[in-house]
Structure 1
C-alpha cells in the first residue's frame, strides 16, 4: 500500500532565523521548535530542560480541597479506604501508585480491579457490593467514574462515598461523588487538560503530600508509574505530561521499583524511550487483564520482593505470549473472512467469529487497519449471546460519530474518535453492517483512505552531523503531539554496502548519500529487504527519522527510513 506524503506547513522563516540566531541552532531545528509553540529563548530553555518546579499547583483542580479533606477525615476516623481502578495500564498503574502512597502512612486500605469479562469497563455494581460487604466507606476511583452516575448513586445508598479521579470527557450531569477531579470538567480551570488517569491520581498525591508535609522528593519516585500510564494511554506528550514523562523515564532507568525492574533490559539502557514502554512494557501489563485478571499487574507493581516480582512477571509474560499467539491466529482468520465475504475493496471492514477472544479483538482491529487501512470493527460473541465489538479508525475519520449514526442497531457503545466498543443483538448484525458501510462510504474523504506520512521538513543530508543528532534527541520524550521529527531528502543514492537482517531477511541496512559518498550515513529500512534491487539501481526520495543507538557503551548515529519513492519506479 503506497503512502501519501504530506509536507506540513512551515513556520515563518524570519521567526525561524531570529530564533536560530538567539539559540545558535540551525534553522531546521528552530523550525521544529516553532511548530511546537516554542518561539523564545526562555521557552526553548524550558522545553529542552523540563523541570519539576514547573508542575502546576494540584489545588488548581476543582474539588481538590474537598478530596483531600475527605481522605483526611477517613484517616482520622479509621475508615476503610478502597482504591478502585480500571483493568488497563492506566488503571493498574494508578491503583498501584495510590495504594503504595496511602499505604505508606495508613493501613486500613485495599484495592479492587474489575474483571474485564464479568464486570466490564469502569465502576461495577459487584465492586460496590464488595466494598459494602467488607466495610469500606470511601472509594477512590482512578481512570474511571466520570460517567458512572447510577453506580455512584447506588454506592451512596450504601453509605459509601466516592472520590473520582478521571481524565475522560464528562456528561452534562456529573455523578454524586464527594469530589470529582477531572481537568476535562467544563467548570475546572486547571491549566493542563490532557493528564492521564494516573496523572490525575498523582496530582491528588501531590495535594495530600502538601497537607501532610511530605517532602516532594518522597513522591517523585512514583513518576515511573505515571510515565508508563502516559505512554500506554497515548495522551499528548506536551506541557505537564512532558515533564512527568521525562522524569518518570529517568526514575525508571535510574531507580525503578522492583515490579518494573523485571521489564527492563539488563544491558545499558540509554536509548530507553516512550516507544519501549508502548511496545515492550504496556502490552505485557495489559495482557494480565486481557487473558486473566488485571489484579496480577497491580500485585507486580506494588511488590518489594524480587522473587515474587520475577514469579508474577513470568506469569504475565506467558499470558502476553498467549495474547500474541491469539492475536496472530485471529488476525489471520479475520483476513480470510474479509476475502471470503468480499470485503477486500469496501470502505469499511466488519468481521465476526463467535469463538474469537474478546480480550484481543481491539488489537486485531488495529492489525487489520495496517493491512487494509479503513475503519474496522471486529465482533465476537459476549457472555449473554449478544455480539460485542472493538472499533478502530484511520487518521482523521471519526468512528464514534459513525456509530452514533447507526445507533438504532446498537445496544450500547462508547469511546472516542479513533477507538470505541459496542454491543449489538445478533439479529441486527447484518443490517448494522450494511448501514455502517453506507455511512462510511458517504462520509469518508478520499485522502482518509490512504495512509499519510506527515513530513516536518525537507532537508539536505549535508546538515546532519553529531550536533544535529544530539539536538534532535533533546526534543524527547517523543509521543503524541511531540512526535519524533520526520524529514524528507531528495535524490538520495545507495552507497554500495548493505546487509539483510531479521529471521526472514526482510529488513535492510544500507549506506546512503546525497551529493558525496564522503558524507554518507547508515540507514535502516524495516520490511524493505525486497527493495534492494531498486536501491542498487535507482536514485530515490527518502522519508526518514534520526536515531541515536547505543551498543556496548558506544553511540551510533543512524537514519531510519520510513518510506521511499524511486525515480524510475
Structure 2
C-alpha cells in the first residue's frame, strides 16, 4: 500500500491498534519510539515488535470476549429460569450472582429488561478491558463495564480492580458513575471519563455493591433509552453497487463522530453462504438489475441466529472495498440483517 492509498480508517483501524498495543500489553514507549525514529531499520524492528504485541492483544481479547459472552449467556439463562419460577412475585428486580475463585460477576435484570452488563474476573488483563466492554456494548446495546485486577498477583478483597466503561446514546456513563459516587462515597476510589466512555477504580470487595448501585441509577432511566434505533440512508440503485461509488465514498474522508458514514439497506436474494472461523457470516447475494453476485460479510455474527433456509434477507450495510492478492472487489459490510423469506 502506498501513502496515496491510505484512508482515515487505515489510521484508525490498522495503524492505531498496533501503536496502542504497546501500551496495552507492554510499554507505550515502543510505539512512540517507532513514530519518532529517523532510522529505517530501527523503525522496521519496532514495527515488528508492535505487530507481535498486537497479535498477543488480539489473542487475549478474543479469549476474554469468549469468556464474557459465556458469562452473559449463562446469567441470562439463569435469570430466565428464575423469572419463570417467580411469575407470581410483585415485580421487584431479580439479582443473579455467581462468584468463585475464577470469576466474580454480577448481572441484574428486571422481569423484562436488562439495563447493564458489568463483569469481573481475577485473571483478566486490564490492557484490553475497554475493547471488551466496547464489544459487549455493541453486541447487546447496553452500558457495559469490564473490570480486571490492577495487579493480577494481588486479588484480595482489599486489592484494587480497574474498570473500563462504554455506553450507549442517552446514558452519560461518567455522570452515571458520579451519581453512584455521590450516593455511596466509599465505593469508588476514583473515576473519570465522558459521555460514552469512562474508567474507574475500586476495591474488589466493592464490586457487587457497585453493580447494585449502578443498576439503581439505570433503573431510573426511561425504557426508550435502551431500545436501539438503527437508521438508514435508504436503498441504493443498481448502478451504485460499484467500486467507483465505494471509492468515492471512502475518498470523501469526512466521516466520523457526529457525521456517520452512509449506511444503506435493501432486500437481497441469498445465492450462497459460508460460516468463517465459526463467527463470521459470508454471503453471496443477488440484487435486482445487478448483473453479478454481490459479496457481503457480517463479522462476529451469532451463528445460532442464522436460518440456513434463508432465501431473501433484508440488510443494513455499508459499502466497502475488499483487497486480496492485489485485486479489489466490492463488499458489503453488514451491520444488521433479517431473514424475510425462507427456501
8 Å Cα contact 2:315/2:337 also seen in 1: yes
Matched, 1:483 2:257: no
1:522 equivalent to 2:298? Answer no
Shift of 1:464: 4.9
Is residue 167 of structure 2 the alignment partner of residue 403 of structure 1? no
Contact persistence 1:365–1:390 (CA under 8 A): yes
Relative contact order higher in (CA < 8 Å, ≥ 6 apart): 1
How has the CA–CA distance of structure 1 residues 552 and 417 changed in structure 2, closer, same or farther, with 3 Å as cutoff? same
Work out the CA distance in 1 between the residues paired with 2:37 and 2:146. Answer: 36
Task: Quote the Cα distance in structure 2 between the aligned partners of 1:364 and 1:552.
Answer: 31
Unaligned ranges ≥5, structure 1: 1-251, 255-268
8 A contact 2:165–2:197 mirrored in 1: yes
1:9-29 C-alpha deviation (Å, 9 max, x unpaired): xxxxxxxxxxxxxxxxxxxxx
Q: Give the structure-2-normalised TM-score.
A: 0.73
Give the direction of change, closer, same or farther, for the CA distance of 1:285–1:381 in structure 2 (3 Å limit): same
2:117 alignment partner in structure 1:
349
More strand by share: 2
Cα distance between partner residues in 2 of 1:328 and 1:466: 32
Deviation of 1:520 (Å): 4.6
Distance 2:302 2:199 in 1: 37
| 1:378 is aligned to 2:142 | no
List per-residue Cα deviations over 1:296-332 (Å, max 9, x = no partner): 1111111222322222222222222222222223333
| Correspondences of 1:246-285 after superposition (within 5 Å) | 253-254=2-3, 270=5, 272-285=6-19
**SS in structure 2 at match of 1:525:** strand
Checking the alignment, whether the CA contact within 8 Å between 1:364 and 1:378 is kept in structure 2 is: yes
Gaps of 5+ in 2: 76-96, 98-105, 152-157
Q: TM-score under structure 1 normalisation? A: 0.46
User: What's 1:120 paired with?
Assistant: none
How far 1:288 moved relative to its partner?
A: 1.0
CA gap of 1:485–1:382, structure 2 versus 1, over 3 A, is same
**1:387/1:402 Cα in 2 relative to 1: closer, same or farther (>3 Å)?**
same
Name the CA shift for 1:467/1:357 in 2 (closer, same or farther; >3 Å): closer
In the other structure, the counterpart of 1:394 is: 168
Can you list the C-alpha shifts for 1:178-231, whole angstroms capped at 9, x where unaligned? xxxxxxxxxxxxxxxxxxxxxxxxxxxxxxxxxxxxxxxxxxxxxxxxxxxxxx
What is the CA deviation profile of residues 416-465 of structure 1, one whole-angstrom value per residue up to 9, with x for unaligned ones? 01110112234433322111011112215335343x43212244435655
Pairwise mapping of residues 51-450 of structure 1 onto structure 2 (< 5 A)?
A: 253-254=2-3, 270=5, 272-338=6-72, 339=74, 341=97, 343=107, 345=109, 346-382=114-150, 385-407=159-181, 408=185, 409-450=187-228
Matched, 1:493 2:269: yes
1:300 and 1:313 in contact (8 A); partners too: yes
Give the secondary-structure state (helix, strand or coil) at the position aligned to 1:453.
Answer: coil
Rounded Cα–Cα distance in structure 2 between residues aligned with 1:369 and 1:559: 23
Cα distance change on mapping 1:365 and 1:305 into 2, 3 Å: same
CA spacing shift, 1:549–1:359, aligned 2, 3 Å? closer
Measure the CA separation in 2 of the matches of 1:366 and 1:505. Answer: 18
- Aligned-partner SS, 1:455: coil
**CA 1:534/1:472 → structure 2, altered by over 3 Å: closer, same or farther?**
farther
RMSD: 3.2
Pick closer, same or farther for the CA change 1:298–1:504 going to 2, 3 Å: same
| Structure possessing the higher radius of gyration over alpha carbons | 1
Q: Secondary structure at the match of 2:27?
A: coil
SS at match of 2:220: helix
Q: 1:328 to 1:489 in 2, by over 3 A?
A: closer
